[in-house]
Structure 1
Amino acid sequence: MKFKFTRNNNGPSVKSRIESVLRQMLNNSGNLAMNPSTELTRKIIGGTKAREGDWPWQVSLQWSGVHHCGGVLISKKWILTAAHCFTSHSDTRQWTVTFGISTTFPKERRGVRTILIHNNYRPETHENDIALLQLDKEVTFTRNIHTVCLPEATQNIPPGSTAYVTGWGSQKYTGSTVSDLQQARVNIISNNVCNAPSSYNGAILPGMLCAGLSQGGADACQGDSGGPLVQEDERQLWFLVGIVSWGYQCGLPDKPGVYTLVTAYHDWIKQNTEI
C-alpha cells in the first residue's frame, strides 16, 4: 500500500491523514492486515526506517561500544565523517566501525587505525568540519556494504533539489539515539536563504551546505553527526554531497540542518586517501 503526498506536507499531518484513510478502510472492510515493517516510524526527524541495503555506505562510529556518530564508506579502508565527533574522543583503540542498518546486530565490525582531522577545523565556527578514519582491516564489498560516489569539485547541487539524510540519531532534540537506521528526504537550501536574519544570520560559510524543509519537520539530529547527505543523479548513481555537521536544535522552521559541503574538500580527500 502506498500513499503519495506533495513535498510540502510535514510529518505529523501526513501521519494523521494516513491514519484517517486506514481507519476508513477498516470501517468499510471490517478487516485490515498490516505488515509491522510499514509502521509509521518517526526517528531521525520526520524520517522512516531504512531497509537493509538501501544505504550501504552508511556506518556507525562507536565509542567504547556505544553509537556516537555516523560515517560514510568511501573506499575499502577509508571512512569520511565530521571532525567534531573527535573533540574529546581521540583514542583510536576505543573506536569501532560497524556496517549494516542495525547498531545492535551489525553485518561487520572494524577497528580504527588512523584518525585524520582537517588541520583548519574551527569548532567555534564549525569551519572545515571533516575527518577521515582509516580502518584497521579492509572491508569486502557486498550488496549491503559498499561505497558511495564522491562528487567532483565542480559538481552542481541546485537549491530545491531532493537529497536524503540517514542515521541513528534521536527523533527529537535531546532525545536518545535509535538502533535501526532511519532516513529522511530533505531539500537543498541556498546559502543566501540559509544566511537570512530569520535563519542562520550569516553563519553559513562557503564550505557549508543547508538542507531541510522551510516549514521544518525533516532533519538530522543528535547522533547523526558525520553521516551522509546524498543525491541521486540521472544515471541512478548516488553521490555524497554533505556530511552532517551542525544546526539549531532539530527540525525547526527556518533552521535547517547544516552540512559540510563535500565538493569543497575534493582535493583534501584525494590527497589524504589517494582515492
Structure 2
Amino acid sequence: MVSKHTQYHRTMVTSQNTHLCCCYTLPLPPNLTFHSPSTECGVRPHIKSGRIVGGKGSTFGAYPWQVLVRESTWLGLFTKNKCGGVLITNRYVITAAHCQPGFLASLVAVMGEFDISGDLESKRAVTKNVKRVIVHRQYDPATFENDLALLELESPVQFDTHIVPICMPNDQADFTGRMATVTGWGRLKYGGGVPSVLQEVQVPIIENSVCQEMFHTAGHNKKILSSFLCAGYANGQKDSCEGDSGGPLVLQRPDGRYELAGTVSHGIKCAAPYLPGVYMRTTFYKPWLRSITGVK
C-alpha cells in the first residue's frame, strides 16, 4: 500500500473508465421543514421534491453538510483543493487525518460550495480559516487506522439553506446492506481528471467480514478493523477515489433527515474489483467526536 496522496485519496468513481451512477434523491417528507437553521441537522432545504437521475453531478444545496478542505501555503499566495470534509457543528468539520496540512501550510474550510469553477450559485459559499487541526492521537499512516481529524473553525459558521450540519447516527446503528451516498470533488476515475461540480454516487455498505474476504480475493493482505466501514461492489463499478478523503458517506433516516455512516479514508486504486472503499465508521468514533465537539 502506498501513500494516500498517490493511491489512497478517494474520489467519485463509477467503474474504471465510465461515468457516474444513477443516484436518487428522495424529497423531504411534508411534515419536515427547515424551521431553525441553528437546530436542524441532516435536512436539505434546497431539495423540495423530485429526483436526481442519471446525472454526473448533484444539484446546488443537495448535500449542505459537504465541506471542501483547501490547503494554503506561502501566507495564502498558493491554495489548492486538498480533501473533503463534513460539517457536524457550527465550529467543527470532520475530515481524514491524512488531510492534515503540510509543512508551513494551513487549512481553509469552504462550506456551501458546489461548483468550484466559479461563483455561479444562487448563494455564496462561506470560507473559514481552520484555527486548529485535531488529529486522532492513535492515527497510524501505515494502516490508516483512526484516519480521522477534526477541524476547528476560526469562527462559527452561520447555518443557511445551503449550509447544514449532518446528523450523527445512533450509537448502535448498523447500516450493513443499505445503500449509502458518498459525495466529493475527487477524480472521476483512477488517474483521471477532477470535476468542477460536486459529484455523488451510491454504494452498498458491506459487512466487514465480507470486505475482508474481498481484499483477500484480490490478493491484498489488508486487515479490516472494527473501526472501518466498507462500501462498494464486488465488481467495482462505483467508488470514491483521490480527492474525496474526509468526505461524507450518508444515509437517509426514516424521518427524512440524513445521518453520517462514515468518512472517506482509503482504498486501493478506485472502483477496482474486490477492492471496496474503506471509511472510518462514525459510530465507533462518536465518543471521541463528542469529547471534543459536544456533538450528540
What TM-score, normalized to structure 2?
A: 0.74
Offset of residue 137 of structure 1:
1.5
1:130 aligned to which of 110, 132, 148: 148
- Give the equivalent residue in structure 2 for 1:79: 93
The residue aligned with 1:121 is 139
Call closer, same or farther: CA 1:14–1:115 in 2, change over 3 Å. closer
1:102 is displaced (CA, Å) by: 2.1
1:214 is displaced (CA, Å) by 1.8
Q: Deviations over 1:113-159 (max 9, x none)?
A: 0100000000111100100001111111111111010113211212x
Instruction: Supply the AA of the counterpart residue of 1:69.
Output: C
Cα distance in 1 between the residues matched to 2:272 and 2:144: 20
For 2:261, the equivalent position in structure 1 comes to 241
Separation (CA, whole Å) in 2 of partners of 1:254 and 1:229: 19
Match of 2:62 in 1: 54
Larger radius of gyration between Structure 1 and Structure 2: 1
| Alignment match of 1:166 (pick from 183, 193, 198) | 183
Aligned equivalents of 2:116, 2:109: Cα separation in 1 = 10
**Secondary structure of residue in 2 paired with 1:178:** coil
Alpha-carbon shift at residue 179 of structure 1 (Å): 2.1
Of 142, 145, 159 in structure 1, the residue corresponding to residue 160 of structure 2 is 142
CA contact (8 A) 1:152 1:266 kept: no
Query: Relative contact order, CA 8 A, sep 6+: which one is greater?
Result: 2
Instruction: Pick closer, same or farther for the CA change 1:125–1:73 going to 2, 3 Å.
Output: same
Which among 204, 209, 212 is matched to residue 229 of structure 2? 209
Deviation at 1:213, TM superposition (A): 1.6
The amino acid that maps onto 1:75 is T
Contact 2:16-2:189 within 8 A present in 1 as well: no
Shift in alpha-carbon separation, 1:192–1:143, aligned structure 2, 3 A: same
Q: Distance in 2 between matches of 1:190 and 1:52?
A: 32
1:218 aligns with 2:235: no
Query: For 1:198, which of 209, 212, 217 is the aligned residue?
Result: 217
Q: Is the 8 A contact 1:177 1:222 kept in 2?
A: no
Q: Indicate if the aligned counterparts of 2:230 and 2:276 stay in contact, CA closer than 8 A.
A: yes
Report what 2:127 is aligned to: 109
Unaligned 5+ residue runs, structure 2? Answer: 1-13, 21-51, 73-78
Q: State the match for 2:75 in structure 1.
A: none
- Closer, same or farther in 2 for the Cα pair 1:60/1:14, shift >3 Å? closer
Distance of 1:139 and 1:190 partners within structure 2: 36
Match of 1:95 among 107, 110, 125: 107
Q: Which whole-Å CA distance do the structure 2 matches of 1:49 and 1:213 have between them?
A: 20
User: Percent sequence identity over matched residues?
Assistant: 36
- State how many pairs are aligned: 236
- 5+ long unaligned stretches in structure 1: 1-8, 16-37, 42-47
Q: Secondary structure of the residue that 2:63 maps to in structure 1?
A: coil
Aligned amino acid, residue 292 of structure 2: N
Root mean square deviation, CA, Å? 2.3
CA contact under 8 A between 1:70 and 1:81: conserved in structure 2? yes
Structure with bigger helix share is: 1
TM-score normalised per structure 1: 0.80
| 1:183-212 deviation digits (Å, cap 9, x = unpaired) | 000000111111012145452111000001
| In 2: Cα distance, 1:224 partner to 1:49 partner | 14
The 4+ residue runs of structure 1 with deviation greater than 3 A are: 9-15, 38-41, 199-202
